Structure 1
Amino acid sequence: MEYALRVCQKRDFMYLKEIYLECVELHQKNGYFLKKLPDAPEIFLQYVEELMESADALVLVAAGDKGVMGYCISKVGEKPPVYADVRYGLIDNLAVAEEYQRKGVGEQLFQESVNWFKEKGLSRIELEVAVFNPKSVNFWKKMGFKTFMNLMEWEM
């Protein structure tokens, strides 16, 4: 399986939409469903397009002969000015189509994002991961991440 990492282009959007929908379906199947708008896939692509224009964001894709296998959205995040490290790296979203998972695609996308964060002078990376998705939790632990805070919700 050969593929290359590159910056996302608009021609990749149909693949990003497919992978996005696959992730939504996985979340629904596992009983975790953040309410989404009916046109969420199109809004997601608009969001990606906006990020592609930003100097503080990087949208990478892993692309091969059959199209895009996965993507990683990385951004520069900012904390309130009371913290010593105000700016940090934020992995907004990393997703790999199921048929290409466990083949190193996600790890390479992540490593390329790490390089980009280093070029930006950042020394810390944060992300959110769904606790109901052990495959994803284990992936991030393998990449060296550890839990430092729990995100909690309460529906009224």
Structure 2
Amino acid sequence: MSEQLTHLDHQGHAHMVDVSDKSQTKRTATAQAILSMKPSTLTKVIEGGLPKGDVLATARIAGIQGAKKTPDLIPLCHPLMLTKVTVDINVISDCELEVLCTCALTGKTGVEMEALTGASVAALTLYDMCKAVDKGIVIQRVALLEKKGGKSGDWRQGDE
């Protein structure tokens, strides 16, 4: 794998990478965000007892929209024709939620940024939906967990 920063030209200026000569391959990526909150807040999320309505459904939709809007938010990202975006929200302790966003396509560039953006936007939406009862919610970690396909091949968090 190249250690070169591909979004910089030979003069060090930012530019959009030309992917026109790359082969189309199936590419997937999964990213995670962890939210920590009061146990009473998590109970309200699970039971649907928050004033803004169905928090989990709203966060899932927001994550999907976030993934689709990635090139509008991250300046050098290519607009992609995503073929799959899933957002799963799991309870991982009495005070933590895990957001997983998986994106897929067959194309010339990867979907890591879309998965990271989707997980981030879903986590931010969860915060927004819950802040009336818990302003101390912390989005602890946003990380790429796995990517498959493309020139650099498969990669999984912790396999370095």
The structure number with the bigger radius of gyration is 2
What is the TM-score normalised by the length of structure 2?
A: 0.34
What is the TM-score normalised by the length of structure 1?
A: 0.35
Higher strand share: 2
